[in-house]
Structures are given as structure tokens and as C-alpha cells.
Structure 1
Amino acid sequence: MSSSVSDRPVQQYLSVEVETQYVEVDGVRYAYREVGQAEHMGTTPLVFLHRFRGTLDDWDPAFVDAVAEQRHVILFSDAAVGSSTGLPATTVDEKADNAASFVRALGYDVVDVLGFSMGGFVAQALAMREPALVRSVVLVGTGPGGNVETEPHTDIVFGIALTPEYSFEDIRYLFFAEGRDAETRAYIDRHALRTDREPPVAPATIQSMAGLIMDFMGGKTDHYARLGEMRQPTLIVSGDDDHFFPVKNQWLLYRELPDAQLAVYPQAGHAPHQQHPDAVAGQVTRFLHVQDTAAAV
């Protein structure tokens, strides 16, 4: 496996410097950032859908830049997240509809989507609700809707996730595997490079996010039963030490999807793309290249 920590100079992280843009849809101003080389801007965009409490700033610059070397990447903030306006979504389906409206407002008829954690819930719902809009799906550190077979999260993980300010050990526990202190520090250092930062997620939005997560993970929605409707090629990327989504749940997700691949990174936590940014980016790029080739036939 390639090195966990990128050795590229920090000034080469384009995603740290790219400006925040806005598009208005039905009275909501959505914040987003576009990253990629000019020659890739005509390709199918890859839209990033973020985790619980995540803003545009929380995507790992090393991972974003590595993907953007070969793809047109769009980082998206939902309503009431960061500098996006509007009211917070209260269901996963509402978040999916918001994402679809955003994509169409930018003028795209087809996109690929990458969802991390809660964003993976949204990516699943978006693919189900908008089969013509979503070409392929990448699910990172996420799981299926709740059902009788799913393994529960650890007792303390959501309490830590709700902590107002994350300590080093909080970040290590939430996103990395035990003993991965060097990779945790490297991510924290990369995360701190952005100077013009998005506002933190407001308490009311956090409450709404927590509610829709609990509904999805608690089996109160129909998303697990509908996984067979997701016909898009799907890449599932997981760590084997994920405190939110034990690895058994990735197998359940893989089992129910008609066209899926599963990659489990050993001794990796909830965010394998932060622990191994170059390796995961390479895997995502290869997966999407296969979709490009199939579309060109």
C-alpha cells in the first residue's frame, strides 16, 4: 500500500487556494468549490457530499488534489451548512433533492457522486431518486440504512462526534485507526492550511443532521429495502476499524447492491481517504476511468 502521508509540498494543494463560489436555487444560495486541471473540466464532474458537521474546509486537501489531478471535482455544501443559506434538511431524501437541484443549477445532466459518511447516505438516496442524473457512486466510510443485520456503532463515537471542539485524540478516534498518530497529525496540518474558512455548522443544523442520521441508521427509512434499485456502478471504500460503521455493514451494503465493488483498507478507520489519501484517490480514479471507457463505447 502506498504511503499514508502525501509528500507533496503544501503549496501544491490547489484545493486550499481555490475560491468559494455560489449558485442560487429557489432562494437558497449554495456554496461550492471546483478543483481540477483545465483539460479535465469537460469530463463528467465528481460531486463530493460531506459528512456530519463537515464544511467545504473539512475535505482533506491531499485527497481532493489527488483526485482532481484526473477529474473535475466539485465540493458541495448543502443548505444551512457553512456559508450556504436556507434551512437545514431534515431527511436524507431532502438532502438528496437539494444536491440534485444544485447539480442542475450548474448546468449538468450527468454527474458522478462521492459521499463520505452521512454524505454516503445522501449519495445512495440521490442515486435511487435520480437514476438518470447519477452515473456512478463512490461511498467512503459509510453504510446501508439500518436493518436487523447491521452491526451497531461503538458506544462513545456519537458522543465524541457531538463535541463542540475536536481534540487530537477525538480526531484520531473518529477518523483514524488506533496507533495512526502520524497520519492524524498530517491530516490536521493539511486541514489547517486554508485561511479563508467557512463558518462552523450551526447548532440547529447539527441537530437536524443528527436526526436524519438516526432515522437512516435506525431503519426508519426505506433506503435499505431499496438498495436493489441502485443500478449505478458503485465503489465502496471502508476501513476495518470504523467506529461508526463496522466492516460487517459494508458487506451488507455490497451484498444488496446490483453492481458494486468493495475495498477494505486494513488498520484504517472511518476516513480511509484521510489515512491513505493517495491510495484511495488512485482507486477512485481508476474506478471512474472504467465508467468513462464504458460510456465511450
Structure 2
Amino acid sequence: MTMRAAANGIDIAYETFGSPAGRPLLLIMGLGAQLIHWDEELCRLLAEQGHHVVRFDNRDAGLSTHFHDAGVPQAGAPTPYFLDDMADDAAGLMDAFGWPAAHVVGASMGGMIAQALAIRHPERVLTLTSIMSTPGPESAPPTAEALAVLTATPPADRDGVLEQALRTWSVIGSPGYELDRERIIAMAGTAYDRCFDPAGTARQLAAIMASGGRTELLAQVSVPTLVLHGEGDPLVPVAGGRATAAAIPGARLVTYPGMGHDLPRALWPDIVTEITKLTSS
């Protein structure tokens, strides 16, 4: 069941899995993605390992507050918010739960937000897991083909969105694993029906670009850190994961051959094991 909480001056939609007595685990999703993109089965696998799992919609995504009045970002115009503001959203959501601190997992842009959270609110982060992310756009620029699908004009109708989703994941998905066309179409349809806001995604992208890099600041992070990355990722190449791990003292880097810019189902058991080892140590 989707619930809402007031946090950092906005409303945030979230869902929970597992016992409230479990280890608090906050999942932060990426650009334009919604909480449903943390697959429910993956969330349950994490909950079975003793975590109280929370997945949520970032601002400008899903059922959380959208900044419609800001419109589509224009070149040279002020950015309505930054990744730091999105990190403060996460901290505010933790306040709403009464969590003094949590184990934090972020994927792609969510990894950037998780990094910013560990920098801005170190006392709120028990462990940090950064997945297919980077300390800054300059650390791992996308391939030309991946950039093209990322910045493609959004379709105007539902069928077009489903077709575009297939094109996108055929480019940025995991080359070492079979493309699950049915799952991609089903997820894209559910996401479209739940919320379709291309301008919101554009505002999130503007926040990424306007926020700059975090490499120097990540040297301050002292919590146990895990970095997971696909060796076949064309959108955030594996250099981004290596740069993240190099920037955070003591970080452990795990890379997966054949994994692209997604989380292949076949890797879920290993990913859950890696996260659980970190949160239970």
C-alpha cells in the first residue's frame, strides 16, 4: 500500500516491506524512475534478510510532489532544485518514520542522492550502497547511443511510451542477460498509468547537471560503503563505480560482467547477499 509523508516541505509517496523491528533500509531510485522500479520481489528478498525496507518516489516522480510550476528547464535558467535538496527529502522522510539513521541504497541518480545524503547528513547514514552511479557527470560520461536514448523526445501517448521503453532498455540494459521484453512493457505501462511527467524527469536531470561533482566531499564519508556496478553499463560506465569507490575511504567495489544499467533478476540473490553482509556487519 502506498502511503504519504510530509518531508522537507513536500509530500513523499512511499511503501514498506518487512518488520518495523528490522534494520532500516532506505532505497533511492534513479532519474525519472518511480518506487515501483525497485521490484517488489527484490524488496521482499531484502526484507527476508531482516531489513525494514522503504522504497519511495523522489520529488518530480511518481506520486510525490511535482514542481509543475517550474516547467521544462531552459538553458541558462535557474535550476529549481539540486541533488542536495533531494538528499534532504530523504532525511526528512527518515524523520517522518522516526528513524535516527538508516542503511541507504541508491541506484543511478539515486546513488548520487545517497552520496549527497552521506555527505550532508553523515549521522543519518549507517551504511552506504551506491549502485551503477558516479561521483559526478565527468567521471563516467555515457556512450553516444546511451545519451541519445536518455535525451530522446518523450512520446505523446501510452503506446509510444511502451515502445520507447523497449528501445531504451535494449540500449542501456544488461548485454550479458536476455532482454525481458514482457517485464519491460509491463513496468513501463504501470509507470505510465501511475504517473507520466517528462518535464519532471527533465528537472531531475537539470538537478544532476547543476549539482556538479562530489569527489572531494566523498573523502569525508566514513561509513561502511559498498559500490556495485555493471561492467557493461553504457549509460554510467563502470569507471563511475570505480571513481565512487576510489573517492570513499575503505569502500568495497563489486563489478558484474554483463550487467548494464539495470538490475538483472539473475543477480538479485548476489546483490541481496552483498547488501546484507554490509548492513549486518
Same-fold status (TM-score > 0.5):
yes
Tell me which of 43, 57, 63 is aligned to 1:83. Answer: 63
Match of 2:166 in 1: 168
Is 1:73 the counterpart of 2:69? The answer is no
Deviation per CA, 1:231-290, whole angstroms, max 9, x where unpaired? Answer: 111110111011122222322221121121111011111123555222212221222111
- 1:118–1:142 CA contact under 8 A, matched in 2: yes
Q: Is the contact between residue 61 and residue 190 of structure 1 (CA under 8 Å) also seen in structure 2? A: no
Alignment of 1:185-224 (within 5 A): 185=181, 187-188=183-184, 191=187, 198-200=194-196, 202-216=197-211, 221-224=212-215
The equivalent of 1:11 in structure 2 is none
Structure 1 counterpart of 2:99, one-letter code: Y
Opposite residue 160 of structure 1, the aligned amino acid is: V
Pick the aligned partner of 1:237 from 228, 232, 236: 228
Aligned match of 2:145: 156
Question: Would the alpha carbon gap of residues 55 and 213 (structure 1) be closer, same or farther in structure 2, given more than 3 Å must change?
Answer: same
The reply to whether residue 55 of structure 1 matches residue 55 of structure 2 is no
* Mapping 1:212-291, distance limit 5 Å: 212-216=207-211, 221-272=212-263, 274=265, 276-290=267-281
Point out where structure 2 has 5 or more consecutive residues left out of the alignment. Answer: 69-79, 155-160
CA 97–27 in structure 1, closer or farther in 2 if over 3 Å, else same: closer
> Percent identity, aligned pairs only?
26
Count of residue pairs the alignment pairs up: 260
TM-score (norm 2): 0.83
Alignment pair present for 1:46 and 2:15: no
SS at match of 1:135: strand
2:10 is aligned with 1:28:
yes
After superposition, the Cα gap between the structure-2 partners of 1:139 and 1:31, relative to the gap in structure 1 and judged at 3 Å, is same
Which ranges in structure 1 are unaligned for 5 or more consecutive residues? 1-18, 291-297
Other structure's SS at 2:149 match: helix
Alignment deviations for residues 200-259 of structure 1 (CA, whole Å, 9 cap, x no partner): 2x233112111122235xxxx251211101111111011101112222232222112112
| Structure 2 CA distance for aligned equivalents of residues 231 and 248 of structure 1 | 22
In 2, distance between residues paired with 1:143 and 1:137?
Answer: 13
Does the 8 Å CA contact 2:137/2:209 hold for their aligned counterparts?
no
Aligned to 1:99: 90
Q: Distance in 2 between matches of 1:73 and 1:196?
A: 24
How far apart in 1 are the matches of 2:231 and 2:248?
A: 20
> In structure 1, what residue type is equivalent to 2:184?
I
* Distance apart, 1:27 and its partner CA: 4.9
Q: CA RMSD in A?
A: 2.5
Quick one: distance in 1 between partners of 2:191 and 2:131? 27
Change over 3 Å in CA distance of 1:278–1:85 after alignment to 2: same
CA distance in 1, matches of 2:32, 2:125: 24
Judged with a 3 Å threshold, the aligned counterparts in structure 2 of structure 1 residues 196 and 20 are, in CA distance, closer, same or farther, namely farther
> 1:189 deviation in Å?
7.1
Whole-angstrom CA distance in 2 between matches of 1:196 and 1:108: 32
CA distance in 1, matches of 2:187, 2:269: 16
- Code of the residue aligned with 1:143 in structure 2: it is T
Report the counterpart of residue 74 of structure 2 in structure 1.
none
> 1:112 and 1:131 mapped to 2: Cα distance?
11
Distance 1:92 1:26, change over 3 A: closer
TM-score norm. by structure 1 comes to 0.79
CA distance in 2, matches of 1:269, 1:223: 23
Q: Which residue is 2:111 aligned to?
A: 120
Contact 1:187 1:274 in 2 (8 A): no
| SS of equivalent residue, structure 2 residue 207 | helix
- Check the 8 A contact 2:107/2:130 in 1, yes or no: yes
C-alpha distance in structure 2 between counterparts of 1:65 and 1:192, whole Å: 21
Q: Deviations over 1:44-93 (max 9, x none)?
A: 31111111110122222332221121111100112232111253862111
Aligned residue type for 1:57: I
